[in-house]
Chains A and B, each alone.
Chain A
Amino acid sequence: KAGVTQTPRYLIKTRGQQVTLSCSPISGHRSVSWYQQTPGQGLQFLFEYFSETQRNKGNFPGRFSGRQFSNSRSEMNVSTLELGDSALYLCASSLFGRVQGNYGYTFGSGTRLTVV
């Protein structure tokens, strides 16, 4: 069973550009969540999508957006990149979008974004 796949693994962008990151959840999982990890702020929740609808959103500016497709794959977009957006972006998928029974959240290996 394939895990959560995030592409690309590494990305270098210039300040002011925009970027799109992709996450393919485990087959059958309907919920996808995104987290930002930085040395200074640690791990912070960005948003969660379930069946193509955004259910939860963290405290990030509107430059951060996402979407989920009918096959549950998700993309997140960051526009007008700033140096502070340099981070590891992690995606996690789950069957129902909550902890239920033995179902939990499985993380991908992340996309390392560097803004120069």
Chain B
Amino acid sequence: AQTVTQSQPEMSVQEAETVTLSCTYDTSENNYYLFWYKQPPSRQMILVIRQEAYKQQNATENRFSVNFQKAAKSFSLKISDSQLGDTAMYFCAFMDAGNMLTFGGGTRLMVKP
């Protein structure tokens, strides 16, 4: 069974600064996908960024980028130029060929003005 661990329950960052959220996972699979989801108070899970394990290049989406270290089974999210609207719960998630998402426990991010 896959496991996903987010070691930072809560983090805070000043507006316009950069913050990095950590995620590690454990799997014996070679082909899989990794995701970061954002859950604001509206409760809807919003996809932030995803990474295919077979791709060595780190994914980037505007202010969001990941540091994917496959050998270390690490998948961290970097948010640059943090904005107040980035305040939310962030979940790291893993998916293998079984199409089931396994989520980490989440990191609550607070962006301070």
Contacts and interface: CB of A to CB of B under 8 A. Distances in A.
Nearest to B37: A107
A108 B44 contact: yes
Contacts, number: 52
Given A43-B103, A97-B99, A105 B47 contact: yes
A99 B43 contact: no
A109 B47 contact: no
A108 B106 CA distance: 18
B65 to A, nearest CB: 18
Contact of A42 (B45, B100, B103): B103
A73 to B, nearest CB: 18
A99 B100 contact: no
Contacts of B37: 107
A107 B45 contact: yes
A55 interface: yes
B85 interface: no
B43 A42 contact: no
Interface of B: 33, 37, 42-47, 50, 52, 91, 95, 97-106
